[in-house]
Amino acid sequence: MNYIKFVKEQMALIADRDPAMRSKWEVFLYPSFRAMLAYKRSHKLYLKGKYFRARLISQRAARRTGIEIHPGAEIGEGFFVDHGHGVVIGETTVIGKNVTLYQGVTLGGTGKEKGKRHPTIGDNVMISAGAKILGSFTIGENSKIGAGSVVLKPVPPNSTVVGVPGHIVKRNNIRIPYMDLNQTDLPDPVQSEMDQLRESLNELKKEKI
């Protein structure tokens, strides 16, 4: 790994995605920079079969930065974690190019299954604070995952997902009918189900009368 090249790339990357950056030297203070530096070292060791040393480096980085990246994960260029605390990236996760994560994001599995058990994240995806993506499926390129969402199934490219469990509310820049996305009135699938049950009960009561 060319350290100077990596530093320059991170300077440009963070300056582009974080308006709070005032000096290029602030890159050395960013948890994302330190976590990715450790990841690159641990990933090389992991690929050589030196698993203990790889995990030792990754766990030290996790304690120092709050970002836990398993050395077995595959991460593309242009990856950035804003703030970063509480981020967890599982062993078989595959992340494409120009992906941005915010604090509290989990890219995890759903149990103790073997093989590919973590998500694949396409290029140019943004995953907002506190979102959980659990399982071995793909988040399509150019998609956005809303804050606090829990995604348990594949997401097509160019989609926006919100809610628990996650629902697609926009695809190819077109809103899905009967669902809308804003920062104050997010879709509530649980409430929708309750409303439908209430309507069904009212209809049953009318029939009895």
Catalytic residues: 85
DSSP string across 167-187: EEEEETTEEPTT----SSS--
Q: Is 101 exposed, middle or buried (0-12, 13-18, 19+ CB in 10 A)?
A: buried
SS3 letters across 42-62: HHHHHHCCCHHHHHHHHHHHH
Instruction: State the distance between the two ends of the chain, measured CA to CA, in whole angstroms.
Output: 77
For 2, phi and psi rounded to 5 degrees?
A: -85, 105
Q: Is 130 exposed, middle or buried (0-12, 13-18, 19+ CB in 10 A)?
A: middle
Which of 51, 58, 124, 112 is CA-nearest to residue 87? 58
Q: How far apart are CA 206 and CA 209, in angstroms?
A: 5
Q: How far apart are CA 91 and CA 185, in angstroms?
A: 35
